[in-house]
Structure 1
Amino acid sequence: MLTNLDLMELTAFRRDLHRNPELSGEEVETARTIASALKQLAPTRIITGLGGHGVAAVFDSGVEGPTVLFRAELDALPIAEINNIPWASQRPGKSHVCGHDGHMTMLLALGRMISRQPVAKGRVVLMFQPAEEDGSGAKAVVADPAYKDIQGDWAFAIHIEPGRPFGYVSTCPGLINCASLGLLIKLVGKTAHAADPEDGVSPALAVAKLLPALDALGHGGKLDDDFRLVTITHTRIGEPSFGVAPGEAVVYATLRTSMDKGMAQIEADARSIATAVADEFELGVEFDVQDNFAASINHPKAYHVAAAAMDAINVPHGDTGVPMRASEDFGVFGWGAKAAMLCLGPGEDFAALHNPDYDFADDLIPIGSAIFERIARDLLGKA
């Protein structure tokens, strides 16, 4: 159980994290801060450098039993914060408007409780993963050889989700977050003087044909197994000049499916369309994949464990607002474990995630950590 002093210290810690955001793959100081805080809890083992800057603390009972992993994220976003608060970001153009500072703090709160009252069997792993925002972090952690020694039999995570009542958890068995992939398409032609466009090869008409063709690949709709959505997020043709006919164009398309198995097909379809359009207009075409997220699927058993834990401590929950189109790389931990993602509400009128005026609600720290602790006790008991 957390004391009032714990909550004061944890709130101060969360706000310090908020002041010092670091982007995906750059979480050097954040990881160092987390490792230092974990050391004070005297876990059995602390592992650093997981999949980049990931940090994990292992609390081992010494008695045979399952490993239960709880995950938080280290990284922030390239968004300039506009909040007028004493703990606003001190790093221009970077901010924790993603809630990750709060997620880390809830995990540290759990660590305090496990440190004081160890589990009776098995292991608790507190996993602070890097690079969630670009979809690369969880995959890098799981691929790290050091992860094999601490892989969970169970895995749980909480993500703050505005739009839900304060303290209400949205979750369900099955699909919780869609798979998504950022496909960058580059069309390469030849520039020319604007007075003599016939001397070049412009991608302008190709882009005009490509955009609706990509859009037609998926219009969203019901989140069933056939769900497909293509969102054009950015395009650029040439340079902003009246004197130059363009010789290059770039199109950013986010592809989204409900299941991982559908992503390969929609990506293949998008590449095929872009290649055909490029050939028609005598252009070269290049591709790059970014922000590649696996689908997050809640295992039925993990969902029921979490639901029972929330019932036991009177946390309201249901399936409001889930599954979601948005992506989250926590699903990767579910490839080798029974996993569940829980979406904790800060209030129905709370600022949205990834908005420059978002800030984590500190009163959620005891709620999130209490859910985690009850899950750990239900699976592993008390020493």
Structure 2
Amino acid sequence: MSARARRFALVSGRWDPSIAVVDIDAALDPAYDGTDRAVISRPRVTPDQIEHDGTRVPLVGLPVSLVALPALNRLLVVNHAGATSPVAMVGQPHGHAGAVALFDLTATLGGKASAPEALLPTGTFGPVGCAVAPDGRHVLVAAGEGEGLEDGGRQISVIDVSATVLRHNFDMPHAGSPCPRPSPDEGFGGFPNPAGLAIARGEPDLVLTADGGSSALSVFRLADVLSGGGHPPLARLPLPTGPFGVAVSPDGTQAAIAGRECPRTGVEGNTVSFLDLAALRQGKPPALFHAELGGGDGRPSRPMGVTFAPDSASAYVAGYRTGTVSRLERGRGGTWSEAGRVELTGEDGAPPCPRGVAVTSDGALLLVAGGPRGAAASSVLWLLEARRLVPIARVKGVGNESYFLEVIEI
């Protein structure tokens, strides 16, 4: 990062139909700690619905993830519920038609974007994770649910951001019919319901999906996903429980998967699984190493978001249930172990419920977003000294039950 670069955190608003644009360096000012003064703006991700009496009602988008495309001057935000009426959301919380909101990146970082330039339907339901392809043009979005149901997610949307168009939806392997009941239920397992999605650059480039519905990790060739059709996965690996977040190390050799909970039993997870991508590319058996998270009060941590340090030797994971953030270190022989852990402090006695994690490019700062569902602008962004996991600043008002976030340095 150059001396003149500015650093921003973009935080998904979830139940707030907006994202929060946070000036990271302003947030580090002690005078701003514990306030929302570092929030530059909160651009909306959905339009309003005009009622019969002329009143305007904000539509629900449930923004959960986002990614920047600097070369195209675009920001893409995944709306888990597209643009849904509040009445429809109350009647059925799952399986709404998804959409992505597209923003002018420069305007957004400058606090001048109040609404998206386009709202593009994904043609799927309940999308969650997203990632940019190496060409800097295509964004892949994982469809986490089925139509009107929590179960039934089985597609990866391929969006050409430069043309603002959905190219196609890539079908993932699935079997049977979606479970008509919400989880936990024994009827889950036939559909992947991918949540997190990551792309690993290398030869070949790979797409990884954290399949919460079938408790597995799927690995596809990126070229197959971009071409469409019914290409089988390169690998499909069972996990200890249903995963949520997935990340690829900057050196492209490792993947980390956060094991959230089993959709069949509701038992919450307490592991981060690591996959040797180099071995997978070489055609060797794709072994997984499962690192247990310790500490806390004996409860499973229910890990959700995960990310790597720039040196690829450490990883960070958010423990939703225990309100903690852990640092894991890589050892010899592909092993990983927890090397540090800190408990976060929620607002006004509320549990912190951390979900999204991100690291600045110099590896010095760890940013964590979270908070329980509550009032508008009730979520928090914590800034920690990454190596020692020491909290150094806190930004209020970044959403309502915030999920993933993106760090941008320009």
Bin of the TM-score, shorter chain as denominator length: under 0.3
Asked which structure has the greater CA Rg, the reply is 1
* Structure with greater proportional strand content: 2
TM-score (norm 2): 0.25
TM-score normalized by the length of structure 1: 0.26
Instruction: Considering Cα pairs closer than 8 Å and 6+ residues apart, tell me whether 1 or 2 has the greater RCO.
Output: 1
